[in-house]
């Protein structure tokens, strides 16, 4: 890895580096370097001589979200992989998927995200389906939300408008964001892309505070409040972060509620 490093002093970024404690600021590797593959966020931060706590402190000092600070690092070219994942989220998301018969998926691009959502809607289209999409709507998710909005027709194409129903919700961090959760007002409706697009268009990808979000509380709220009735019931969670440890509900609470309502959870972790 060391042979790939090149020295480049960038005066315009010195303030950012100082805030983040990036003492190795003269080391730069172009983000997306061919063949570098994926890397866990914490491993990346360690290479940059910083950590989550320092980034969160910098975000608080500047009055911005942690996601915005990370975006600045990534957009500035300080990377060593094609894509970064918050690997600390993988275990929590896997637990929700495995515990409900859904399955956990990790995607590295918006194209993979759209393809995965199409697989979910089309994989068991012989059954009547109720599908809820719960999207992390914090600042770092703007590109993913836009991709879902732009390809919603294709995502819903495999559903039967006469029998299947869908709903969309978004969530953030309930401890710093108000509102932190919303779902389209009509609940489960026919898979009409036009009606759901209007809800997606109103989402303002912002907020989030620190990296973890209210994943467990959002999932529990969705499962508990949706009026499920179909043969196949699916909650699809789209996020780039794990759950906050300040949520009211736990993974066990979410899995129990899903089992009681016969809902399978399909968590999708997207790259940062």
For residue 44, the enclosing domain spans 2-85
Q: What percent of the chain stands above pLDDT 70?
A: 82
- Residue-wise pLDDT tens digits, 60-76: 888 887 777 777 776 65
Whether 235 and 223 have beta carbons less than 8 Å apart is answered as yes
Residues 41 and 112 in one domain: no
CA angle (126 as vertex; 220, 224 as ends), nearest 5: 10
Residues 234 and 259 in one domain: yes
Residues 248 and 167 in one domain: yes
Averaged pLDDT of the chain: 82
Q: Which of 85, 114, 141 is the last residue of a domain?
A: 85
pLDDT band at residue 202, thresholds of 50, 70 and 90? confident
Residues 79 and 95 in one domain: no
Highest mean pLDDT among 9-13, 75-79, 207-211 belongs to 207-211
CATH of the domain at 155: 3.40.50.410
Q: Is the pLDDT of residue 228 over 90?
A: yes
For residue 96, what are the β-bridge partners? none
Residues 166 and 237 in one domain: yes
Q: Which of 85, 120, 148 is the last residue of a domain?
A: 85
The CA–CA distances, whole Å, from 188 to 226, 234, 235, 238 equal 7, 12, 12, 18
pLDDT band at residue 34, thresholds of 50, 70 and 90? very low
- Grouping H, G, I as helix, E, B as strand and the rest as coil, residue 84 is strand
Residues 95 and 229 in one domain: yes
pLDDT at 77: 52
Both ends of the chain: CA-CA distance in Å?
21
């Amino acid at each position: 890895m060391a042979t790939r490093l090149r020295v480049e002093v960038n005066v315009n970024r010195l303030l950012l580096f100082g805030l983040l404690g990036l003492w190795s600021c003269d080391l730069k590797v172009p983000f997306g370097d061919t063949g570098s593959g994926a890397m866990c966020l914490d491993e990346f931060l360690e290479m940059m001589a910083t950590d989550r706590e320092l980034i969160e402190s910098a975000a608080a000092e500047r009055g911005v979200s942690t996601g915005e600070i990370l975006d600045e690092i990534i957009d500035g070219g300080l990377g060593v992989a094609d894509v970064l994942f918050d690997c600390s989220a993988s275990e929590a998301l896997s637990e929700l998927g495995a515990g409900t018969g859904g399955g956990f998926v990790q995607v590295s691009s918006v194209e993979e995200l759209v393809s995965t959502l199409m697989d979910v809607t089309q994989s068991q289209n012989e059954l009547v389906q109720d599908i809820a999409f719960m999207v992390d709507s914090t600042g770092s998710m703007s590109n993913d939300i836009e991709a879902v909005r732009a390809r919603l027709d294709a995502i819903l194409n495999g559903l039967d408008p006469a029998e299947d129903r869908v709903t969309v919700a978004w969530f953030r961090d309930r401890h710093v964001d108000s509102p932190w959760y919303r779902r389209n007002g009509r609940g489960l409706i026919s898979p009409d892309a036009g009606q759901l697009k209007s809800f997606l268009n109103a989402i303002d990808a912002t907020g989030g505070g620190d990296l973890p979000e209210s994943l467990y509380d959002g999932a529990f709220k969705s499962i508990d409040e949706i009026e499920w009735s179909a043969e196949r019931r699916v909650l699809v969670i789209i996020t780039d972060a794990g759950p906050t440890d300040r949520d009211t509900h736990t993974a066990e609470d979410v899995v129990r509620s899903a089992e009681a309502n016969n809902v399978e959870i399909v968590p999708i972790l997207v790259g940062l």
